[in-house]
């Protein structure tokens, strides 16, 4: 396991575009982010409809949807960003077919488990720790954000989770894009520290779904998602992780209603799997 705080990637020959970017929604919490010369994959889940994920303690759930693309259709990746190690975020297809030397940024526990599965470049982060990734003239600073996957003592029975803050910067450390990914977290008090440290967030990817196992909620439902938007205050939010498994009990409509009630509709962009959100700078 590599406890390094800086990663240098080979630069591309073409000029880096800091004015345009895209987010391609593959399904579940899996997105492909393309910006500033980086190609980043999050929480890869490439199982198909009817295939089961194993969620621990003998609990399984069959996928209701298909990913928008197959894993073999992915472009070359700079790295994978992983909220935590559960099968709906890093499944057996990914373990078998993902390049074992693609860098993976994740929690300490997930990194240790992935090392044992043959993945040779893991970059573990504790909450608030930072990894700097340099590619050409672009600097990307990734900070691990707080996350809680279950209420109270039950959190110790589930894998540790992290959110992520991605700050894309110029060599002069001017931030061109600040992107927050919640990871599989519930709404809880430590999230209030995020806007104090990062008061200028451009985009947020919200893991929703109101995941319930044995009656216990493990990810934000629609109402909590809207509350998280009010706390973190991104300019634009994109909901993901909301309709792929039966254990997701809060449909997207719950979030839409809560967003409307909070007068936040103009701050949300909705994507179906297979759709792309494109953005142009400045977003500030």
Query: Each residue of 23-40: pLDDT tens digit?
Result: 999 999 999 999 999 999
Query: Can you tell me the mean pLDDT for 246-257?
Result: 97
155-159, 269-273, 277-281, range with the lowest pLDDT: 155-159
Domain 17-269 has what CATH class? alpha beta
**What is the residue-averaged pLDDT of the chain?**
94
Q: Say whether pLDDT at 142 is over 70.
A: yes
Strand order in the sheet with 175-181: 6-9, 130-135, 138-145, 163-169, 175-181, 203-207, 236-240
Query: Each residue of 253-268: pLDDT tens digit?
Result: 999 999 999 999 999 9
User: What is d(CA 44, CA 121) in angstroms, rounded to the nearest whole number?
Assistant: 16
Q: What percentage of the chain exceeds 70 in pLDDT?
A: 95
pLDDT: which is higher, 137 or 71:
71
pLDDT of residue 240: 98
Domain positions in the chain are 17-269
pLDDT of residue 156: 67
Please state at what angle helix 222-232 crosses helix 252-261, rounded to 10 degrees.
50
User: How far is C-alpha 172 from the chain's CA centre?
Assistant: 27
Q: Say whether pLDDT at 214 is over 70.
A: yes
Query: Can you tell me the mean pLDDT for 161-186?
Result: 96
11-25, 79-93, 217-231, range with the lowest pLDDT: 11-25
Residue 284 pLDDT level (bands cut at 50, 70, 90):
low
User: What is d(CA 147, CA 176) in angstroms, rounded to the nearest whole number?
Assistant: 25
Q: State the DSSP string of 55-99.
A: EETTEEEE--S--SS-GGGPPPPSEEE-S---TTTS-HHHHHHS-
Q: Say whether pLDDT at 13 is over 90.
A: no
Residue 5 pLDDT level (bands cut at 50, 70, 90):
confident
Of 124, 194, 197, 129, give the one whose Cα is nearest residue 159.
Answer: 124
Q: Say whether pLDDT at 8 is over 60.
A: yes
User: What is d(CA 68, CA 90) in angstroms, rounded to the nearest whole number?
Assistant: 16
Q: Say whether pLDDT at 3 is over 60.
A: no
Provide the 8-state DSSP code for 15: P
2-16, 170-184, 240-254, range with the lowest pLDDT: 2-16
pLDDT of residue 11: 87
């Amino acid at each position: 396991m590599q406890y390094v705080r800086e990663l240098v990637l080979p630069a591309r020959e073409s000029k880096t575009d800091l004015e345009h970017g895209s987010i391609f929604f593959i399904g579940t919490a899996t997105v492909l982010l393309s910006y500033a010369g980086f190609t980043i994959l999050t929480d890869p889940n490439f199982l198909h409809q009817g295939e089961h994920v194993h969620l621990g303690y003998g609990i399984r759930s069959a996928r209701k949807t298909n990913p928008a693309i197959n894993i073999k259709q992915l472009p070359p990746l700079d790295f994978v960003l992983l909220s935590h190690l559960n099968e709906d975020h890093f499944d057996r297809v990914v373990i078998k077919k993902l390049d074992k030397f693609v860098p993976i940024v994740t929690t300490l526990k997930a990194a240790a488990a992935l090392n044992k599965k043959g993945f040779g470049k893991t970059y573990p982060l504790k909450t608030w720790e930072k990894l700097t990734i340099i590619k050409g003239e672009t600097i990307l600073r990734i900070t691990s954000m707080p996350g809680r996957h279950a209420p109270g003592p039950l959190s110790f029975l589930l894998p540790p989770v992290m959110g992520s803050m991605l700050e894309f910067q110029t060599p002069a450390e001017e931030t061109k894009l600040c992107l927050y990914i919640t990871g599989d977290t519930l709404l809880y008090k430590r999230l209030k520290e995020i806007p104090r440290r990062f008061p200028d967030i451009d985009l947020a990817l919200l893991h929703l779904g109101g995941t319930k196992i044995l009656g216990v909620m493990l990810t934000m439902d629609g109402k909590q998602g809207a509350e998280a938007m009010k706390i973190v205050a991104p300019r634009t939010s994109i909901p993901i992780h909301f309709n792929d498994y039966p254990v997701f009990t809060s449909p997207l409509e719950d979030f839409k209603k809560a967003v409307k009630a909070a007068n936040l509709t103009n701050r949300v962009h909705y994507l179906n799997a297979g759709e792309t959100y494109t953005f142009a700078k400045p977003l500030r």
